[in-house]
Structure 1
Amino acid sequence: MQHTGKFYRIALLFNANKVYDRQVVAGVGQYLQASQCTWDIFMEDDFVYHKETIQRLSIDGIIADFDDPETAELLKNIDVPLVAVGGSYQNPDFYPHFPYVATDNYALIETAFLHLKQKGLNHFAFYGLPTENQQKHWAIERENAFIHLMQKYAYPIRLYQGEQTNSQNWRTAQEKLIQWIQSLPQHTGIIAVTDARARHLLQACETARMAVPDQYCVIGIDNEEIIQYLSRISLSSVSQGTKQIGYQAAKLLHHQLNHLPVSNKPLLIPPLGVEERNSTDYLSLCDPLVIQAMHYIRQRACQGIKVEQVLDHLRISRSNLELRFKAEMNKTIHQIIHQEKMKRAIHLLRFSDIAITEIAEVCGYPSLQYFYSVFKKEQGNTPKAFRAYWQNK
């Protein structure tokens, strides 16, 4: 689209301390780069907008977060071109009467559910947010989507909203969460309404020594990078199409500013898919001793454990456990320990900038040379070349 040469002052009303908002803003930026439209973007220096300034802004257009009810109310009657961004609604009457770009909440939950189902799980649960004040409508929509999916596939509905946690109630909230998880059948896939809530589940399971993913699988929503650093078990998560949301919102506003027709029908953006990590790396295991052994190995493989330590932990003979591993997994205990170390090394090479010498050490390899030898033999490339390939992809 050709621009008119006029500079438009555009306000982005988002709080970029949240991953969702940050990526929507990044999507707006991608549109600016692609279209070369002449916009002067207004955002506060701290990337957090202040609601009391909305009415005083001297602007030509707005893209705003309508998941925040106060923002929606403040902008209800504003007389400049506006595009709203937020979550989808099952009831179409809830949408505002102007252009709206939404994350598809139903598709987010369906993507998480189908991921767990394809792992061979047959029990499902949902950990949501308290919804008394109706402020977080997207949480209500996601919970309703879960209920609908359970009814559609004829599964029992297992729900827990928990508490809005803070420093005062954190311990008691975790104790209640542990009790709820323990009330679920083993081999349940739990969908958390956000990655932050998924982290509660991972911590509760670790505290109560419930094995993830061998006894319970956990999947979150948002693919929030910081969460990955705060849990020992890496979290599988549904990636939202947030940059696409920002891109489409900017495109709609550009059309309005150029006096082109724009539909008020909500534009729903589907998720990108599941970023699969350890928390749903589920093997359909039946033997309780193999499940216990797998949990022990996952937790300690990178500490340089040998088969003997697994046997000591379970107080079982080698021949007995080897037979059980062969029957359940068609692999030896030693092969599984090696596999877990290699998976960890691959993950760190792909998704971190930790030095390769450090990776060799934290993954339990006795020397850098040995790590290089084993890695090249198995992956067909050196760790350095492997990392370079993924960084350039």
Structure 2
Amino acid sequence: MPLKNRYGSFAQICLSTCDAGFRAVSSGESRAHPAFRDSVMGKKYRVAILIGYRRSLHTEIIRGIARYAREAKNWEYYLSGPDEEFVSSPSTVWDGLIAHPGDPSDEFLQGLHAPVVTVSGHGPVGKLPYVASDDEAIGKLVAEHFLERNFQSFAYLGDSRGEDFSLWRCKGFTQTLNVHGFACHVFEQEDVGRTTIPMRDRLAAWLEALPKPVGLMATSDNRGQCAIQICREIGLNVPEKVAVVGVDNDELVCESSMPPLSSVIQAGEQIGWEAARLLDRRMAGKRSPEKVLVPPQGIFTRRSSDILAIDDPIVSQAVLYIRAHSNQPIQVSDVLENVLVSRRSLERRFLRVLNRTPAQEIRMAHLSRAKELLVGTNIPISEVAQQAGFTQAGHLSTAFREEMGMTPTEFRHRFRRIGG
């Protein structure tokens, strides 16, 4: 039975199924669900996936749902996009649905009388149970990115419509900076009609007035690209004067920016997997949360923020050397051979400028390299350790437990962004 979606294509994807059991009704009670009996005889759950694949994040979310379905072994799902006509057909009974919030509407989904979970790259979303990105954690991550690079001035460029997710990202960004004793300049949106000055002109004036150098977080890649374009037009060098980080890691947007845009990597596959697990529990009538927030995977650092705001040339030279050799088992003695100062002098300079020692900087660089390899490749853990400058896989595991509270394998399973 081919399915026609709003994007003009026909698609029918049927994969595995999950445990059947009981369906929770609106009163909070549970009653036996037909799929429970059917599963005993081998019949599979029927689940509709109402998610269009307009963005790379949506594709990652669908991939996560597919991974859960393979693991569960008794899901049968149909990928149709937000096709209301198909899912509301009286001839079709759904055991559950996963949808993007607002498309179809919450009211429409609730009228189908089946468990529904919505998924999104930002939250909170709608009144239905949902799985979404942790927007405050996204803001915190970007703040830490700039703090590690020793920036002293910070700015936030939000969504022009004042969306809630943008406000939550701003909160995470500014609160993290406040904890470290820094303030944040936030671009204030104005209601239409309150000013005759075009938005682009106001943004240009705001960027020009910011104290430099400044670390700027944009609430999305599109906003980040816009900031870079305006900086180029008014003669502000990126990243030397304005370092920019966006959100979503949309490869097309990021790579087409000049210079290429650093961006937060959302855990799209993990969002999809968690959404499928949540729906699984709800279809079985099990107790389940109303929301699940998934933290970001990390930041894909490109030229737009690949800079150190360090006024000490010795420390700057040392850090650049460490990061350039993060794939090698370097030690502080190797760094000293390249900066030509005493160990005591280098450590004093590091503590004064960065509030950490050269040895701690080396460890950070090795761990950062390992994280990139774990989420971006399928190479064995022993190979990850070698390519991230650890002499043994055991040393990598110890460092991960101390820093992340989990093993490298657990980190890969939680945050991987490639097909499993």
Give the TM-score category using the shorter length: 0.5 to 0.7
Name the structure 1 match of 2:98.
63
| 1:103–1:268 contact (8 Å) kept in structure 2 | yes
Q: Please list the CA deviations of residues 300-359 of structure 1 after superposition, one character each: whole Å capped at 9, or x if unmatched.
A: xxxxxxxxxxxxxxxxxxxxxxxxxxxxxxxxxxxxxxxxxxxxxxxxxx9xxxxxxxxx
| 1:103–1:269 contact (8 Å) kept in structure 2 | yes
Structure 1 residue 265 displacement after superposition: 4.1
Corresponding residue SS for 1:278:
coil
Cα gap change, 1:245 to 1:262, in 2 (>3 Å): farther
Cα gap change, 1:121 to 1:51, in 2 (>3 Å): farther
Structure 1 residue 154 displacement after superposition: 3.6
Cα gap change, 1:126 to 1:70, in 2 (>3 Å): farther
Structure 1 residue 51 displacement after superposition: 5.0
Cα gap change, 1:230 to 1:237, in 2 (>3 Å): same
Q: Please list the CA deviations of residues 222-278 of structure 1 after superposition, one character each: whole Å capped at 9, or x if unmatched.
A: 111111331121211111111101011112223333x25131242221111111111
Counterpart Cα distance in 2 of 1:105 and 1:235: 19
Name the structure 2 match of 1:266.
291
Cα gap change, 1:281 to 1:12, in 2 (>3 Å): same
Moved more, 188-197 or 228-237: 228-237
| Same amino acid, percent of matched pairs | 26
| TM-score, normalised via structure 1 length | 0.61
Deviation >6 Å, runs of 4+: none
Q: Please list the CA deviations of residues 338-391 of structure 1 after superposition, one character each: whole Å capped at 9, or x if unmatched.
A: xxxxxxxxxxxx9xxxxxxxxxxxxxxxxxxxxxxxxxxxxxxxxxxxxxxxx9
Structure 2 counterpart of 1:283, one-letter code: L
Counterpart Cα distance in 1 of 2:189 and 2:260: 22
Name the structure 1 match of 2:343.
none
Higher helix share: 1
Name the structure 2 match of 1:106.
136
Counterpart Cα distance in 2 of 1:282 and 1:138: 28
Counterpart Cα distance in 1 of 2:78 and 2:118: 16
| 2:49–2:99 contact (8 Å) kept in structure 1 | yes
| 1:123–1:187 contact (8 Å) kept in structure 2 | yes
Corresponding residue SS for 2:64:
helix
Cα gap change, 1:16 to 1:41, in 2 (>3 Å): same
Counterpart Cα distance in 2 of 1:13 and 1:2: 21
CA RMSD of aligned residues (A): 3.1
| 1:219–1:235 contact (8 Å) kept in structure 2 | yes
Q: Please list the CA deviations of residues 161-216 of structure 1 after superposition, one character each: whole Å capped at 9, or x if unmatched.
A: 5689xxxxxx9543332211101001110000011111101111112221111111
Cα gap change, 1:145 to 1:76, in 2 (>3 Å): farther
Name the structure 2 match of 1:23.
60
Name the structure 1 match of 2:202.
176
| 2:149–2:307 contact (8 Å) kept in structure 1 | yes
| 2:106–2:126 contact (8 Å) kept in structure 1 | no
| 1:13–1:62 contact (8 Å) kept in structure 2 | yes
Structure 1 residue 285 displacement after superposition: 5.2
Name the structure 1 match of 2:328.
none
- From 106, 130, 145, give the equivalent of 1:115: 145
- From 225, 228, 231, give the equivalent of 1:199: 225
